[in-house]
Amino acid sequence: MARIAGVDLPRNKRIEIALTYIYGIGIPSAQKILQSTGINKDTKIIDLDDSEIVKLRLILDNEYEIEGDLRRLESMNIKRLMEINSYKGKRHRLGLPLRGQRTRTNARTRRGSKKTMANKKKAPKK
């Protein structure tokens, strides 16, 4: 199993698909990486040589923001928005949708499940 950028890539998948298991790498960027290294995109991970894995690691380390660095960058951007009290920062703080979606209905992903008071139990009589 090849380990690149702290991620174990699945052995029996094509390299083009397996690279997408790394946070920050999608199919288009995986194709660019393979084109620059000269590795065939239909090669399976199990068939890679050590030299090819080293090439992949070098390109990913030098040219792409991936995994922990990218996650840290995103969280710092969100914290910055919250600190300067921008509209998007306030919505982040309240846990509401940021991009103009309606909240009267829907928005369950950001707001959480529905909390109704319909079947509230009454205190037993003494």
- Look at the chain and report how many structural domains it folds into: 2
Check whether residue 54 and residue 7 sit in a common domain: yes
The yes-or-no verdict on residue 119 having pLDDT over 70 is: no
Residue 60 sits in a domain whose CATH number is 1.10.8.50
For the segment 8-50, what is each residue's pLDDT rounded down to a tens digit? Answer: 999 999 999 999 999 999 999 999 999 999 999 999 999 999 9
Q: Tell me if 25 is assigned to some domain.
A: yes
For the segment 45-62, what is each residue's pLDDT rounded down to a tens digit? Answer: 999 999 999 999 999 999
Which of 73, 67, 33, 24 minimizes the C-alpha distance to 53?
33
Rounded-to-integer distance, Cα 33 and Cα 49, Å = 16
For the segment 91-112, what is each residue's pLDDT rounded down to a tens digit? Answer: 999 999 999 888 888 888 888 8
The yes-or-no verdict on residue 89 having pLDDT over 80 is: yes
Rounded-to-integer distance, Cα 58 and Cα 35, Å = 14
Check whether residue 25 and residue 75 sit in a common domain: no
Check whether residue 60 and residue 75 sit in a common domain: no
